[in-house]
Amino acid sequence: MDLKIRKLLRATSKKTKKARELHPLKNIDDLKEVIPDRVKILAMRLRKWFLFSVVIGLFTGSIVALLDSSIHSASGLLAPILNMPIGAFLLPVVGLTLAGISISFFTKKGDLHGTEEVLQAYHKKGGVLKLVPAIGKIVGSFFTIALGGSAGLEGPSIYIGGVVSNVVHKVAKFFKLKPSDIKAMLLAGAAAGIAAIFKAPLTGIVFGLEFLYKDDLAKEAFIPSLVASTTSYITFVSIMGVKPLFYTQRIYNISYPDLIVAGLLGIIIGLAARTFIVALRRTEDLFEKLPLNMIAKMAIGGAFCGLAGLISVLWFGEPLALGIGYEHISRVISEVLSIEVLVGLVLLKSFATIATLAPGGLGGIFIPMILIGGSLGAIIGKFVPFDRGHMYPVIGMASFLAAGYKTPLAAVIFVAETTGSPGFIIPGLIAAGISFTVSGRLSVSRNQRWSRMTKIETLLKTNVEDIMIKKVIAAPANITISAFVNKYLMKYRHKSLPVIEDKKLIGMITLNDINDVPMSQWANIRLREIVVAKEDVRVAYTNQSLSDVLNVMNADDVDRLPVVSRKEKSKLVGIISSQDIVRSEELSKYWTVSEN
């Protein structure tokens, strides 16, 4: 932030310190309500979040269980067809085409969905998701995944949780939720979706805090994510059972050579993940430039995905590249597969996943990355001179996910929870941390941010209209200086006031302007004469950022500016001062400012 702005904030905060002690800080909008005690706020949050988060968890767990059961049932019925070359090619084409039709029918803009739409809703739309497009996108995810598209169920599960949270906050309007509450509920829904589909409540909690930023955590969502994830997990396993997604041999006697290999594995997989992300991004850009509608793009993506399925059936006798891939992950971490099969898995699964998701296929990328990383780890393990069972595929899963999604903690916890192998946590953390670093800032998500803005940075991006004082005290232009001093300056004690004539702003009158006029002339000179003689009045616009306003204040050495709209520049709609901005900085300790 500009050094001059920092100095101005420090200077004005000193001026208002005594005023804040005498008059407690009040609400930004009407400055009438005193900030409640922090203990009361915490108690209120606990009561509120327990109710909302339980409801979010119950509905998310139930709907995700229904989607999971439906997709697995359909996949089971279609498995014999997928194992045939012609079926492996045609089913993904049909699936993605139907998904494109579903998207096009329910929404005009279907290029954003799943985790990406939740991220955009949090960062740019105040945590709000629309219900009607969600129907088409959830149906589209069914067609994409059930008919062989290479994608995971976590994408639609996170999206379902986000939509459920939006329905809950709309029903609970009488609670008068703040914008920060709505965004926290969105994260609780996302965490609930992950906890349910992976049967991993701790993963859900950590992922909900971690996936928004590449280098930060959304700590304010911890309580709602904790309650929603636990409730969603209990609901899901009550319907679907508690059996872990994968299982592997438990190894607890980790040695120093294991940690060295884990570090090397992290470097290799970090580079591989970076290559995968670049390929995905470039393919997305290529599809974006195609002068075709959504349905045609999805059909083309389905054809390329089907090509990967056809090759895998002809090469290995089964469609390794298609579908969710749970069974293939279990094989990678529990069987001894040949290098040929593992290399085929890495190449074909990467190709099929990019072909499915780049044109807009509805599904998650979490599980495909797990399979790719596990296969890479197994390949590296082939060249290690000492046998460590299936440790390397497991930490390969964690490191590829950490590098690709920038969620190292969630990646390691996911592996521990879903495989029942907590003994792999230490080497997994080492590999995940190194791969996260090697892969740089690249992420499979375009809507992830590197880190949250600081409170002051967020505040300075706020528009003037959000904190300006709307009830403006203005002086009429036809009164004398004597009348102005007695009726306005002495009464309101402002250093400057706007001057109006015929309900139009004509300028600002300041103490310096008054001091420049001999007192003997105060009874004869009217404000109009002083204001008209000055240069054009400096104003702030309703849609102007506070950063710009502070720069104007600093350049002109003023601490108050009249606010007008850009359409009607003579109509006074508010007033803003440096003290108002300082008050907003103080209030941001209690209310989170939107990151729009």
* R_g (Cα) of the chain, nearest Å: 30
Does residue 571 carry a pLDDT above 90?
no
> In this predicted structure, what is the pLDDT of residue 25?
41
**Range 144-161 average pLDDT:** 90
Which regions of the chain carry the CATH code 3.10.580.10? 463-587
pLDDT of residue 278: 93
Instruction: Tell me the C-alpha distance between 64 and 58, whole Å.
Output: 10
Class of the CATH-defined domain 39-452: mainly alpha
Write the burial class of residue 471 (CB in 10 Å: 0-12 exposed, 13-18 middle, 19+ buried). exposed
Residue with more model confidence, 580 or 431: 431
**pLDDT of 17:** 43
Q: Which strands sit side by side in the sheet containing 475-476, from one edge to the other?
A: 475-476, 496-501, 504-510
**pLDDT(52) > 80:** yes
User: pTM value?
Assistant: 0.71
pLDDT at position 48, please?
A: 64
Q: Where in the chain is the domain with CATH 1.10.3080.10?
A: 39-452
More confident residue, 464 or 386: 464
Please report the pLDDT score of residue 242 as a whole number.
Answer: 80
Interval 496-517 mean pLDDT: 86
The pLDDT tens digits for 348-383 are 999 999 999 999 888 888 899 999 999 999 898 888
Q: Looking at the predicted structure, is the pLDDT value of residue 590 above 60?
A: no
pLDDT exceeds cutoff 70 at 535: no
pLDDT digits (tens, 9 = 90+) for 377-405: 989 888 887 766 678 888 898 899 888 88
Q: How far apart are CA 204 and CA 107, in angstroms?
A: 29
15 or 429, greater pLDDT = 429
Residue 495 has pLDDT above 90, yes or no: no
Residue 3 clears pLDDT 80, i.e. is over it = no
Which range is least confidently modeled, 52-61, 95-104, 453-462?
453-462
pLDDT, position 13:
45
Class of domain 463-587 (CATH, top level)? alpha beta
Q: What is the mean pLDDT of the chain?
A: 81
How many Cα atoms are found within 13 Å in the side-chain-facing hemisphere of 327?
A: 10
Beta pairing class for 496-501 and 504-510? antiparallel
Cα–Cα distances (Å) from 193 to 127, 314, 369, 492, in that order, read 16, 36, 18, 55
